[in-house]
Structure 1
Amino acid sequence: MSNDAITSPENTMLPRDSFAQRLLAGHVKKFYDPVVDIDWDAPLDPRKLFLPAEVVSLYGTLLWESMDHEQRRELSRQELANVLSVGIWFENLLNRILLRELMSGDPTTRHSHYTLTEMGDECRHMMMFGKLIDKVEARPYWPNRYERLTISALQLFLRGSMVWVGALVGEEIFDAIQRQTLDDPELQPVVARAMRIHVTEEARHIGFARDALARKVPEISGMERAYTRLCVAIAAPLFVHLMTNWHMYTRAGIEGGRAARRMARANPHARRVLGIGAANLGAFLDKQGLIGPIGKRIWRRRGLL
């Protein structure tokens, strides 16, 4: 082996920086700007849905069967607006947490450089989601004052290993569901394009968070492990709560929004879709010892396992 190979920058990096360097290289090869990479002027298809029927929360229920196509289309539009709104909240929160992590990090490392790159991606995703809500002529589902305080307070609890667990819960479940629906011929083309961009870039974000968490787990104390398990258990009902906002049923013209939400949460098909989406994440957290018996019980009850 030559001296050049031994002393090359790649070989002298810490393992996490070497991994981050590969992600940075991937970002250069596959980078999107939603402002120019999505045709925002293209008209919406008057017949196509805004989410694939199979991932709409009431799909397969008696209520769904009683709806005509226009009612189903409107429900899919409202559910898309809710999902995108939750995505904006989450990516806003994630960026704030990543900024905080950078305050104690070394700004010369590839790990820090990829963190900044990911934050740039998330800023573009938030803009993409906002433009998409506007494009489909929906209104965002914005948190009220108390919910905003709760979301802001999460920064206090997402520390240590929970930074990366929180990132994975927020990114990986919906990402897996998106991957199942990208090629649905009944999906609005503008939505399919936005999903394709999001899936491509989120794959790097998920890899970054998984790598960071796997490296951190061997170092955490028993107390931090117990705390992380508790937070993982709580994350399941929170995720399901956000995805089944009762207001979206009301906006879709369904009488009794709360009753529709209960129906959606009990819907076996919707639970199966969630379970498929969360399967890989659940297996990964279990392998890291971060989802204990109580967490597994709660995740199963909510349809995530």
Structure 2
Amino acid sequence: MARITARSKTRTRSRTQEQSGRPAVAGRLLDSAATLSYDPATEVDWETPLDKDFHGASPEWSTLYGTAYWSDLTDAQRKELTRQEAASVASTGIWFEMILQQMVLRDIYAKDPTDPKFQWALTEVAEECRHSIMFARGAEKLGAPPYRPHRVAVELGRAFKTLAFGEAAYAAILVAEEVLDVMQRDWMRDERVVPFVRTINNIHVVEESRHMKFARDETLKRLENAGWVRRQINAFVIAIASYVIVTSMVNKKVYRNAGLDQERALAEARANQHHKSMMRSSCSGLMDFLASARLLTKPALKFYKRAHLI
């Protein structure tokens, strides 16, 4: 597992913030980043050749796990499939992290650089940059080609990063981070998963916990004075963004690249009740949060159900 590096001791920032009335959440996150951060370039074992006796992700998270096709696969085929799926999830993570970075930078543009929220936002962007490079190197080491979302998803993402603001931006960030977080918490503890992927997952889980805290806090703050119409519109936008993100995680090309019959694999994956159940159970906490923020409107629920998040 990755070694936690202490960049500096926690200083007197929290006390100073209390005295000055500066934002407590951003200050605590800055303290956490100062004491609990990683450098993937040195923490991850990039030199050891890929050991194909390991999975790329916990088998139970495979889109084919529990299907008739899964039963027909050899152990080697199952491991190759999970490696390709893990690489696809990582590639989708890079795509969304690039959207996230642009939304965060746009949100703080021309604001007070002495504000802890401003400094935390830059810290989060820096961490996301490291994560994206880490995911890219990890996918390459898994022996996967560059997976990209469908062209429609790419263009929708382009529009979203340009137009989304406030609670719509931060709640969508939260959805993407929480779904990935639940998967990776399983993968990082699973000794069937190749060690360097477990390290990558551990790094991402630790650092993304800060990002999720900030996204939750910002979502609630932006909604404090929101009226019914604004909530309805943003709930719908967030749900569509969530649907596009979640349905883009596993590229259909993973099956062919794993040596499988792509048409059969796609058909069985779409009907896989086990995987749908895994997604629903893993997102229960996220759905509770969205419900408490009054963002689970009837139109929004349709998209969450289609994505099997609820």
Runs in 1 of length 4+ with deviation above 6 angstroms? none
Distance 1:57 1:91 in 2: 23
Q: Please state how far the C-alpha of 1:63 moved relative to its aligned partner.
A: 0.4
The structure in which a higher percent of residues are helix is 1
Q: Please state how far the C-alpha of 1:57 moved relative to its aligned partner.
A: 0.7
Distance 2:307 2:98 in 1: 25
Does residue 69 of structure 2 align to residue 63 of structure 1? yes
Distance 1:168 1:293 in 2: 20
Distance 2:270 2:114 in 1: 47
Distance 2:227 2:301 in 1: 21
Match of 2:295 among 278, 290, 293: 290
Match of 2:32 among 2, 20, 26: 26
Match of 1:246 among 242, 248, 252: 252
* 1:219 counterpart residue number: 225
- TM-score, normalised relative to structure 1: 0.91
* 1:272 counterpart residue number: 277
* 2:18 counterpart residue number: 10
Match of 2:188 among 182, 185, 188: 182
Q: Residues 97 and 128 of structure 2 are in contact (CA less than 8 Å); yes or no, is this contact kept in structure 1?
A: yes
Q: Residues 244 and 264 of structure 1 are in contact (CA less than 8 Å); yes or no, is this contact kept in structure 2?
A: no
Distance 1:107 1:158 in 2: 22
Q: Aligned residues: percent identity?
A: 34
* 2:305 counterpart residue number: 300
Q: Residues 235 and 295 of structure 2 are in contact (CA less than 8 Å); yes or no, is this contact kept in structure 1?
A: yes
Alpha-carbon distance change, 230 to 125 in structure 1, aligned in 2, over 3 angstroms: same
Amino acid at match of 1:272: S
Count of aligned positions: 296
* 1:281 counterpart residue number: 286
Q: Residues 53 and 76 of structure 1 are in contact (CA less than 8 Å); yes or no, is this contact kept in structure 2?
A: yes
Amino acid at match of 1:11: Q
Q: Please state how far the C-alpha of 1:176 moved relative to its aligned partner.
A: 1.4
Alpha-carbon distance change, 147 to 177 in structure 1, aligned in 2, over 3 angstroms: closer
Match of 1:198 among 181, 204, 211: 204
Deviations 1:194-217 (A, max 9, x none): 000000000000001101111111
More deviation, 157-166/291-300: 291-300
Extract unaligned runs of 5+ from structure 2: 1-14
Amino acid at match of 1:95: Q
1:60-139 equivalences in 2 (<5 Å): 60-139=66-145
Q: Please state how far the C-alpha of 1:76 moved relative to its aligned partner.
A: 0.8
Distance 1:151 1:56 in 2: 25
Deviations 1:96-149 (A, max 9, x none): 111111114222100000000000000000000011112122111124665543
Q: Please state how far the C-alpha of 1:236 moved relative to its aligned partner.
A: 4.3
Distance 1:207 1:264 in 2: 33
Q: Please state how far the C-alpha of 1:156 moved relative to its aligned partner.
A: 3.2
Distance 1:78 1:52 in 2: 12
Extract unaligned runs of 5+ from structure 1: 1-6
Distance 2:287 2:191 in 1: 30
Amino acid at match of 1:156: T
More deviation, 241-250/185-194: 241-250
Amino acid at match of 1:71: Q
Does residue 215 of structure 2 align to residue 209 of structure 1? yes
Q: Please state how far the C-alpha of 1:246 moved relative to its aligned partner.
A: 1.4
More deviation, 40-49/122-131: 40-49
Deviations 1:194-244 (A, max 9, x none): 000000000000001101111111122332211111123323432342023
Q: Residues 172 and 278 of structure 1 are in contact (CA less than 8 Å); yes or no, is this contact kept in structure 2?
A: yes
Distance 1:160 1:220 in 2: 11
* 1:3 counterpart residue number: none
Q: Residues 52 and 79 of structure 2 are in contact (CA less than 8 Å); yes or no, is this contact kept in structure 1?
A: no
Q: Once superposed, what is the RMSD of the aligned Cα atoms?
A: 1.8
Q: Please state how far the C-alpha of 1:169 moved relative to its aligned partner.
A: 1.3
* 2:12 counterpart residue number: none
Distance 1:30 1:262 in 2: 43
Q: Residues 256 and 262 of structure 2 are in contact (CA less than 8 Å); yes or no, is this contact kept in structure 1?
A: yes
